[in-house]
Structure 1
Amino acid sequence: MTHVSARRGALYVTMAATAWGTGGAAGSLLFQTGHLGPVGVSLWRHLLGAAFLLVIVRRFVLADHLDWRVLPVGAGMAVYQTAYFAAIAHSGVAVATVVTMGATPVITAVGSRFFLRERLARGALLALAAALTGLVLLTMEPALRAAAPSGEGAPASPATGVAFALAAATGYAGVTLLSRRHNDRDPRSTAIGGFAVAAVCLAPFALAEGLVPDMSWPSMALLIYLGAVPTALAYALYFVALTALRATTVAIISLGEAVGAALLGVALFGERLTPLAWTGCALLLAAVTVLALRARSTG
């Protein structure tokens, strides 16, 4: 079992959020270069993430670690990742990530109050309020229209994308709550077992959608990066952080992913954010920074 301080846990989840912020961009590029759909990208992400972690945890035996507790975690991962990539396909990287990461702490806060009996301190409530305000600014109708790239190939249904993003947020919150409740498990075992269960859940749908990616160097490089950094590394850090921090604290700090992904969407895909949306980004970043500093000061 891995034990870390609250300070190190805050650092780990900040690093995980930074890595996750690049995952949406990598997935979006794979839609183009690898000719994969959302389910296919999600399946490869889990398979490669498990493979990279297995290289690190050389003595891991799945049968020794796969109990009932990891089954809903894996199912939640499958829902979260697939719905997230579907949201990107419909509404673009910026909106999909912002809605997913913005809704997650709300769902997590409600769930942690009733499921884990965790109470939010005043500072956490203020951070959550600031994050919610930022989310509203980022997802108002003008921001949705401006966030989608213009021209041929632009996402056709932002509203559908938002619906998928909310489904992704629900899956992500479920994984967070379940992992926090059962934090006596080895975090790496939780990650590997979750990846394996998620891959099994997704395999039939991926076969129907299209499983084999385009075997080009760009596609292979993107798949390796997606499996190694935003998946294996990020989730290993995330599960360790859940042994030291409250579920809602982790969820709010993870909002840093939304800012990074929004900036990548603007820089790489021509997505545009209105001044209100940029204000929302600033509020989200401020909330994340304050909460991370509070967590570190207690570690």
Structure 2
Amino acid sequence: MTHVSVRRGLLYVSIAATAWGTGGAAGALLHRAGGLGPVPVSFWRFAAGAVMLLLASRLFGLGRATDLKQTTGLEQNSDLERSIGLKRNTGLGRVTGLGRITVTGVAMAVYQTAYFAAIAESGLAVATVVTIGATPVLVAGGARLLLGERLGAAGLGAVAIALTGLAMLTLDGGSATFSVAGIGWALLSAAGYAGVTLLNRSSAGEPYATALGGFVVGGLCLLPVALAQGLLPQGDPLGSWSAIAYLGAIPTALAYGLFFAGLAAVRATTAAVISLVEPVGAAIIGMLLLGERFTSQAVAGAALLLAAVGLLTLGERRDSSLSR
């Protein structure tokens, strides 16, 4: 895998989070145009993403390993590791190759399904806040214990600011419905996403090969439920397949490939917090395309979230410069 600088890694993760923010609108369009439930939508997202990455690998050579370290997932980013004390020789770090891809795919299927179950139990706002909000907390704890990443007081403060902004943005103007089952599903979704982040940070193999394998495994896990709920889209075929193609290309193939590539250079917690800009992008799309409006609370929440992301980004680049 080509060496990724911290600056480029931050850019990759930011683009991935922005692309993920468009996935909800595309999924909603697919639901309306094709009458598909959430699990079939997730299946088609993974299936189309796998096809897109497979085509990209044939056309552009993505995912081809060039040496033994790449194929085993043991290549290291020495500059950043020295600055944050990253420990790859851990239980997570020894999960390489096919094992890492399999675990990644299963975890992706789990957190997709659990997130939709949380929405069904507690509604979109609560499911989003708990799932996306709990993820950086779980990643920060796991990264400290398993990878030796040191975030520091300023970094922890930035995480707290980001979570406050997320709650202000997502819970704005709606009624929150709390249930034990909904919170449990949301936490399971967060744990799955955190596991994918930590695993692929600890043993960074070829990012596009990892994403491709994860999509295949995740799609196979979702296929039985998708078949039971109705796999093929009904209604508007052009709108349905256009939405599937977009879901596979942008918020799936592009986003996950860049996210895994960015994890080679960026702290796991920083990547998780940058991913919090996803609901900001979704809110902007809702305002521009769906006629939704931002209240002052939502604007303040988005500003806090983006400010926290900026603080962590500056800290990441500063630590990288000091290590040289």
Q: Which TM bucket (shorter chain)?
A: 0.7 to 0.9
Alpha-carbon distance in 2 for matches of 1:225, 1:270: 22
Alpha-carbon distance in 2 for matches of 1:46, 1:193: 10
Name the amino acid aligned to 2:138.
I
- Cα deviation, residue 85, structure 1: 4.2
Alpha-carbon distance in 2 for matches of 1:260, 1:98: 15
- Cα deviation, residue 247, structure 1: 0.7
**Alignment partner, residue 225 of structure 1:** 246
**Alignment partner, residue 72 of structure 1:** 103
**Alignment partner, residue 10 of structure 2:** 10
Name the amino acid aligned to 2:31.
F
- Cα deviation, residue 235, structure 1: 0.5
- Cα deviation, residue 114, structure 1: 1.7
- Identify the match of residue 205 of structure 1 among 202, 217, 225: 225
Secondary structure of 2:98's aligned partner: coil
- Identify the match of residue 195 of structure 1 among 205, 211, 215: 215
- Cα deviation, residue 144, structure 1: 3.7
Alpha-carbon distance in 2 for matches of 1:108, 1:273: 30
Change (3 A) 1:28 1:102: same
254-263 or 80-89, larger mean C-alpha shift = 80-89
Change (3 A) 1:193 1:244: same
Secondary structure of 2:279's aligned partner: helix
Change (3 A) 1:83 1:233: same
- Cα deviation, residue 259, structure 1: 1.0
Alpha-carbon distance in 2 for matches of 1:89, 1:25: 18
Conserved? CA contact 1:93–1:265, under 8 Å: no
Matches within 5 A, 1:270-281: 275-281=296-302
**Alignment partner, residue 41 of structure 1:** 41
Alpha-carbon distance in 2 for matches of 1:47, 1:96: 25
Q: Does 1:108 align with 2:128?
A: no
Change (3 A) 1:269 1:82: farther
Matches within 5 A, 1:131-146: 131-138=162-169, 143-145=173-175
The CA RMSD measured in Å over matched residues stands at 2.7
Change (3 A) 1:164 1:275: farther
**Alignment partner, residue 312 of structure 2:** 291
Gaps of 5+ in 1: 147-156
Change (3 A) 1:129 1:219: same
90-99 or 30-39, larger mean C-alpha shift = 90-99
Secondary structure of 1:295's aligned partner: helix
Alpha-carbon distance in 2 for matches of 1:268, 1:86: 26
Secondary structure of 1:119's aligned partner: coil
Conserved? CA contact 1:27–1:226, under 8 Å: yes
Percent identity for Structure 1 against Structure 2: 56
Conserved? CA contact 2:128–2:170, under 8 Å: no
Matches within 5 A, 1:24-103: 24-58=24-58, 67-87=98-118, 96-103=127-134
| Count of aligned positions | 285
Conserved? CA contact 2:13–2:259, under 8 Å: yes
Alpha-carbon distance in 2 for matches of 1:51, 1:212: 17
TM-score by length of 2: 0.78
Q: Does 1:167 align with 2:197?
A: no
Rg bigger for which structure? 2
- Cα deviation, residue 135, structure 1: 3.2
Gaps of 5+ in 2: 65-70, 73-96
Change (3 A) 1:221 1:86: farther
Conserved? CA contact 1:80–1:169, under 8 Å: yes
Alpha-carbon distance in 1 for matches of 2:100, 2:278: 27
Name the amino acid aligned to 2:197.
T
- Cα deviation, residue 261, structure 1: 1.4
Conserved? CA contact 1:128–1:252, under 8 Å: yes
- Cα deviation, residue 265, structure 1: 3.5
Conserved? CA contact 1:100–1:169, under 8 Å: yes
Alpha-carbon distance in 1 for matches of 2:30, 2:185: 19
Alpha-carbon distance in 1 for matches of 2:57, 2:121: 37
- Cα deviation, residue 105, structure 1: 0.6
